[in-house]
Chains A and B, each alone.
Chain A
Amino acid sequence: MADKTYREAINEAIRQEMRRDHRVIVMGEDNAGGMGAPGEDDAWGGVLGVTKGLMPEFGRERVLDTPISESAFVGAAIGAAATGLRPVAELMFVDFLGVCFDQIYNQAGKFRYMFGGKAVTPVVIRTMYGAGLRAASQHSQCLYPIFTHVPGLKVVIPSSPYEAKGLMTQAIRDDDPVIFFENKAQYDESGHVPDDAYTIPFGEANITREGDDVTIVAIGRMVNLANQVADELAKQGKKATVIDPRTTSPLDIDTILESVEETGRLVVVDEASPRCGMAADISAQVCEQAFKDLKAPIKTVTPPHTPVPFAPELEDAYIPSAPKIRAAVDEVLAA
């Protein structure tokens, strides 16, 4: 087991699945890079290098660069999945979903149901999310609640390199359409990642810290912050459970309910917008199913209901931070 980055973990998962199954193909804007251009082949390997090195191994027939034409190529990935391939398509930034969403939510997400259970659409749509890179309003959003809202889609948000490899391998082997969210601020984060292929099942939350004073549910990059807060609390004699749902569809609400039954206190941390987001959804489910167990009102830690700002001072104020999570936890513990 070697330390690998989040980027390398995803690349390795795709590479191993492409070796394992000739039906797995990769497509997206500049996924190799330099198609038709006079310079280097495999120039980029995706805008942040996640698919680098796949084209030299598997060739242009299985690593397809596309025109900047998301409706067409995301739709093509979906149509290819419905007819026998297992495409991994890249929607470069999830903010671009507006130019291809119909193919995802009205086509891929509904084929199986509309066609009476006779369609199988094993497509993975990889996409980058998250603020923190001063990328401003149209390159920083989370948006996974929008996909979670759609029956027929699975939504995966890995929180570490280990999670990223295991969940990507599962995503490619899964027979349903999967939207795979990669946090652009985590690509260089390192962690232990086994060399051999492994899968992490969907719908099974990961408990990253255990404690019986308070439950913190955190998603994606927020899991690292929640862990930090839990570690600080432990030094002060308070014990938090941190739950990483790993997938928001399916959502392992049972693990959250079991923990709340024990702690009676819940903080939900989510970088997505607060309205109709995961924090709101999880809070509502806990209220509905475990109200009697709550010893204090639930607190959510989310950005404000604004677009993601550009100026560093504004963006820093926008994103949930460890101090904000700590403040919410303290409030819940004091109630």
Chain B
Amino acid sequence: MQLSREQLLKSYWQMRTIREFEDRVHDEFAAGKIPGFVHLYAGEEASAVGVCTELEDRDYIASTHRGHGHCIAKGCDVGAMMKEIYGARDGLCGGKGGSMHIADLSKGMMGANGIVGGGPPLVCGAALTAKTLKTGGVAVAFVGDGGSNQGTTLESFNLASVWKLPAIFVVEDNGYAETTASGWSVGGSQVERAKAFGMPGVQVDGLDFFAVNAAAREAVERARNGDGPSLIHVKLHRYYGHFEGDAQSYRDDGETARLRKEFDALAFFRQRVTEAGLLEAAELDEIDRQVAGIIDEAVAGAEGAPRATEADLLTDVYVSY
């Protein structure tokens, strides 16, 4: 374990923030307060945070339709995110993007993406910028098991390998592409796919923040050293459905309740750091308490925020037209 005490505290803070944020969005959506399509990341926290803990401001990430966790892990403002999800005028994207397009380029977050497999080519571009301008930065594409089958993703593996880009592909395999099992829909293995494109690939357990983080550290170091792309296949689970409102009849009865007990990255982290004497349980309890307050404030702020108005409809299409 090479993470400092501050990094450990921050990582737990971010994972707790994601969990709390998503659980709360689930409740508020069910109460009819949030419009549109929402896809929640709860259960997958160790992946976003395990990877982004290794990143710096100069680094970029691109996300998926299930993007809230990646945003939080890359440092997006939680209050502005919640406002965006509510469609508020001072949301992170002015209420024009919503949950599926939440982004903050100033934080290196190139956007959640409504198109499955939309992110990897963009990440090749961010990696090309880093390489061309010699910023020392790297770029990470998060993609689901569903997105791993898109041509854009496989083409990006090839391009990143051919151009030796400082890119990292993180395949978050939560077992389902919408309703379809990844065990059925993915031909071959993710790790073997990576090797076929000439890059290292490794599978890690998404329950274990430290395993994800170690794999990310190696991939980031390789990318920063100019040695090219890597792939990390994270096996994990989502606590909620594909989208909010999904009845999840394709899952086993009791599957999600069981996952909350057996596959809880936060509980796993807590046990590891307290048993190793790295952090005190009381410190983690305090984070839990503070984060709950922050999410309460974020929801209250979003509920009371001014809505986007018709005057906003025509702005932000072009820089000039």
* CB contact between A71 and one of B97, B121, B126, B321 (< 8 Å): that residue: B121
| Interface stretch (choices A111-119, A137-145, A288-296, A311-319) | A111-119
B94 CB to closest chain A CB, in angstroms? 3
Contacts of A175 in B (CB 8 A): 319-320
- Considering only residues 122-167 of chain B, those with a C-beta below 8 Å from chain A are 122-126, 128-130, 132-133, 139, 151-152, 155-156, 158-159, 162-163
The docked-state distance in angstroms from the alpha carbon of A107 to that of B97 is 12
Closest-CB distance, B128 to chain A (whole angstroms): 5
* Complex interface: stretch among A58-66, A268-276, A277-285, A299-307: A58-66
Which of B110-118, B177-185, B205-213, B225-233 lies at the interface with chain A? Answer: B110-118
Q: Is A152 touching B101 in the complex (CB atoms < 8 A)? A: no
Count how many chain A residues have C-beta atoms less than 8 Å from C-beta atoms of the other chain: 47
A115 near B103 (CB under 8 angstroms)?
Answer: yes
Q: B122: which A residues are within 8 A, CB to CB?
A: 75-76, 78-79, 82, 103, 107
A171 at the binding interface (Cβ < 8 Å)? no
Interface string of A178-196 (1 = CB under 8 A from B): 0000000000000000000
For A83, what are the chain B residues with a Cβ–Cβ distance below 8 Å? Answer: 60, 105, 110, 125-126, 129-130, 139
* Secondary structure call for the B interface: mixed
CB proximity of A298 to chain B, nearest CB, Å: 26
Interface residues on B, range: 35 or more
- B contact residues around A118 at 8 Å (CB): 93, 103-106
A-chain residues with CB within 8 Å of residue B152 when the two chains form the complex: 71-72, 75, 102-103
Give every chain B residue within 8 A of A206 (Cβ-Cβ). none
CB-contacts of B1-46 with A (<8 A)? none
Give bound CA distance, A80 to B315, whole Å. Answer: 24
A84 interface residue, CB < 8 Å from B? yes
Contact A116 B316 (CB under 8 A): yes
A76 touches B96 (CB 8 A): no
Q: Determine whether the beta carbon of B159 is less than 8 Å from that of A82.
A: no
Contact indicator B121/A176 (Cβ below 8 Å):
no
CB pair A76–B93 under 8 Å, yes or no, is no
- A154 proximity list for chain B (CB < 8 A): 318, 321
B129 close to A84 (CB less than 8 A): yes
Residues of A within 8 A of B111 (CB): 111, 114-115
Question: A residues within 8 A CB of B319?
Answer: 112, 120, 174-176
B159 touches A113 (CB 8 A): no
Which residues of A, 54-102, contact B by the 8 Å Cβ criterion? Answer: 61-62, 64, 66-67, 69, 71-85, 87, 102
- Residues of B with C-beta under 8 A to A25: 132
Chain A window 212-252, contacts with chain B (Cβ cutoff 8 Å), 1 for yes, 0 for no: 00000000000000000000000000000000000000100
B104–A67 touching, CB < 8 Å: no
Whether B124 lies near A75 (C-beta < 8 A) is yes
Partner of B159, one of A69, A102, A116: A69
A83-B129, A102-B152, A116-B94 are known contacts. Are A72 and B124 too (CB-CB below 8 A)?
A: yes
Are B163 and A84 in contact (CB-based, < 8 A)?
no
Contacts of A84 in B (CB 8 A): 129, 133
Query: B266 interface residue, CB < 8 Å from A?
Result: no
- What are 10 A-B pairs with beta-carbon distances under 8 A? A69-B155, A69-B158, A69-B159, A72-B156, A111-B103, A115-B93, A116-B94, A118-B105, A152-B317, A250-B321
Contact surface of B with A, Cβ cutoff 8 Å: 60, 62, 91-97, 101, 103-106, 110-111, 113-115, 118, 120-126, 128-130, 132-133, 139, 151-152, 155-156, 158-159, 162-163, 315-321
Contacts A76-B156, A106-B114 supplied; 18 other A-B pairs, CB < 8 Å: A72-B121, A72-B155, A72-B156, A73-B159, A78-B121, A79-B122, A79-B126, A82-B126, A83-B105, A102-B118, A102-B152, A107-B113, A113-B317, A114-B97, A115-B97, A119-B103, A152-B317, A175-B319
7 interchain residue pairs of minimum CB distance: A79-B125, A75-B121, A116-B94, A79-B122, A117-B316, A72-B155, A116-B93
